[in-house]
């Protein structure tokens, strides 16, 4: 590929991955205002930060595809709904859609989420101090994914071990390194569990249902994608929402006075810090996007974080406002053909989790001696969320 001219994107040339992973908002605002489609040298691709242009990319799977050999997740788990477009994408995705519709999600998962939330809160230290990311958000996300997949003979601890190994392998590939063999072994174990589940036709499982329309390897690949998305992004969604609410006592007071505002708080948190900060696409042809001439094969990275703070859509975009009328226009779940399949489940899980925590932990607040902030280039959440409350749960 012909090298890009630095002068064509001077801000992109000086934008570092470390800056985008640490505290990216000021830099993203600068790019959005002056280079909304910017050739970013350290990404070796285009970074899209304006909301209207982000929508253009995510809606047009013909011009901007995920189906490319460079897509790291597919290198570990094979082709899936995450890494395919067109008819093949539809074929892989459609067998999994029914259980994730709003009514089915509530009927199928609400009671389980409530039980798990209460169990985890009861198990919190009686000292009135904990890291709610590790002690609550993460195990809740794992428990719900385990329930959703319905794998025969599998515990949440096993699912978490597979998840950790597969994520490490994907991260190795993304960083340009050889994938860890542990990821390959974990995926082989997941695939064996899928095969056992599918073979047991008496089991009522999402995977058994999907196996009527997909091959077993295809079911396994999509199970890995559901596992990854259900754990990583939902854990971040719960943790980031807690951080935003507890970090703004005035907004927290509004929610505590009217839990009907909880949905608005969740949408606003998703807007400010989506758990998945970016999505990648690859140009299938030469095209023009806003001010940029994009070449066939170019990486086009959409900054969901940047698009979600576009002042043309969200006035005073850096402010956390649980009453923001258009917060649901946020793009944390992406858009177009690859809109998050389990968005309704993630919202339900976060709503129940926050409601239970705020009800059961008196005077819940951030630990002032252990501050937290979201970190991460691709997936953003605090490494820990230390909180205090008054007395036992």
For residue 290, how many other CB atoms are within 10 A of its CB? Answer: 15
Per-residue pLDDT, averaged over 354-359, amounts to 98
What percent of the chain clears pLDDT 70, i.e. is strictly above it? 97
CATH number for the domain that contains residue 106: 1.10.630.10
Q: In which domain, by residue range, is 152 found?
A: 6-388
How many Å apart are CA 159 and CA 154, to the nearest integer?
A: 7
**What is the tally of structural domains in the chain?**
1
Cβ contacts of residue 363 below 8 Å, gap of 6+? 388, 389, 390
Residue 255 in tokens? 């929610």
In a domain, 204, yes or no: yes
271, part of any domain: yes
First to last CA, the chain: 58
Q: Measured between alpha carbons, how far is 364 from 388 in angstroms, rounded to an integer?
A: 6
pLDDT at position 8 is: 78
What's the confidence (pLDDT) of residue 4? Answer: 58
Q: Does 250 score more than 50 pLDDT?
A: yes
Averaged pLDDT of the chain: 93
232 located within any domain: yes
As beta bridge partners, residue 283 has 64
Domain annotation covers residue 207: yes
Residue at 187 is within a domain = yes
Report the pLDDT value the prediction gives residue 2, as an integer from 0 to 100. 47
pLDDT digits (tens, 9 = 90+) for 24-44: 999 999 999 999 999 999 999
pTM for this prediction: 0.94
Q: Give the integer Cα–Cα distance in Å for 269 and 275.
A: 10
The confidence band for 7, taking pLDDT boundaries of 50, 70 and 90, is low
Q: Give CA–CA dist 54/309, Å, rounded.
A: 12
Structure confidence at residue 187 as a pLDDT band (50, 70, 90): very high
The pairs formed by 58-61 with CB atoms below 8 angstroms and a separation of 24 or more are: 58/279, 58/281, 58/302, 58/331, 58/334, 58/335, 58/336, 58/338, 59/335, 59/336, 60/336, 61/85, 61/86, 61/89, 61/336, 61/337, 61/338
- The mean pLDDT value for 322-327 works out to 98
Separation of alpha carbons 330 and 258, rounded Å = 23
Residue 380 inside a domain? The answer is yes
| pLDDT over threshold 60, residue 68 | yes
pLDDT tens-digit readout, 173-185: 877 788 888 999 9
pLDDT band, residue 150 (cuts 50/70/90): confident
The candidate with the shortest Cα–Cα distance to 236, out of 98, 59, 112, 379, is 379
In the prediction, which pLDDT does 343 show?
Answer: 96
**Would 1 be classed as within a structural domain?**
no
Residue closest to 181 by CA, chosen among 194, 191, 168, 163: 168
Residue 303 has pLDDT above 80, yes or no: yes
Q: Within a domain: residue 393?
A: no
Tens of pLDDT, residues 80-95:
999 999 999 999 999 9
């Amino acid at each position: 590929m012909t090298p890009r001219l630095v002068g064509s994107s001077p801000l992109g040339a000086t934008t570092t991955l470390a800056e985008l992973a640490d505290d990216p908002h000021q830099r993203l605002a600068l790019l959005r205002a002056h280079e909304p489609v910017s050739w970013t040298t350290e990404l070796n691709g285009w970074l899209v930060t304006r909301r209207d242009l982000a929508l253009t990319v995510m809606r047009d799977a013909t011009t901007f595809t995920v189906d490319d050999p460079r897509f790291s997740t597919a290198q570990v788990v094979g082709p899936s709904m995450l890494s395919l477009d067109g008819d093949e994408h539809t074929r892989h995705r459609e067998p999994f859609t029914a259980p994730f519709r709003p009514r089915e999600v509530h009927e199928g998962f609400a009671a389980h989420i409530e039980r798990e939330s209460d169990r985890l809160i009861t198990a919190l230290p009686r000292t009135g101090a904990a890291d709610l990311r590790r002690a609550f958000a993460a195990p809740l996300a794992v428990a719900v994914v385990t329930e959703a997949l319905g794998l025969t003979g599998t515990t949440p601890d096993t699912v978490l071990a597979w998840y950790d190994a597969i994520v490490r392998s994907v991260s190795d590939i993304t960083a340009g390194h050889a994938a860890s063999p542990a990821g390959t072994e974990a995926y082989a174990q997941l695939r064996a569990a899928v095969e056992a589940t599918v073979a047991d036709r008496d089991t009522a499982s999402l995977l058994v249902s999907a196996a009527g329309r997909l091959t077993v390897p295809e079911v396994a690949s999509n199970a890995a994608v559901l596992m990854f998305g259900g754990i990583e992004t939902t854990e971040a969604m719960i943790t980031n929402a807690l951080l935003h609410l507890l970090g703004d006592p005035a907004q927290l007071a509004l929610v505590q006075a009217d839990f009907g505002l909880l949905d608005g708080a969740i949408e606003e948190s998703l807007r400010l810090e989506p758990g998945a900060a970016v999505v990648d696409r690859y140009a299938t042809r030469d095209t023009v996007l806003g001010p940029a001439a994009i070449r066939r094969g170019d990486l086009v990275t959409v900054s969901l974080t940047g698009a979600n703070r576009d002042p043309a859509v969200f006035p005073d975009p850096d402010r956390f406002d649980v009453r923001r009328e258009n917060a649901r226009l946020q793009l944390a779940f992406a858009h177009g053909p690859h809109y998050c399949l389990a968005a309704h489940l993630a919202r339900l899980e976060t709503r129940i989790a926050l409601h239970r925590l705020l009800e059961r932990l008196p005077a819940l607040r951030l630990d002032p001696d252990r501050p937290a902030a979201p970190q991460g280039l691709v997936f953003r959440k605090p490494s820990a969320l230390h909180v205090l409350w008054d007395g036992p749960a």
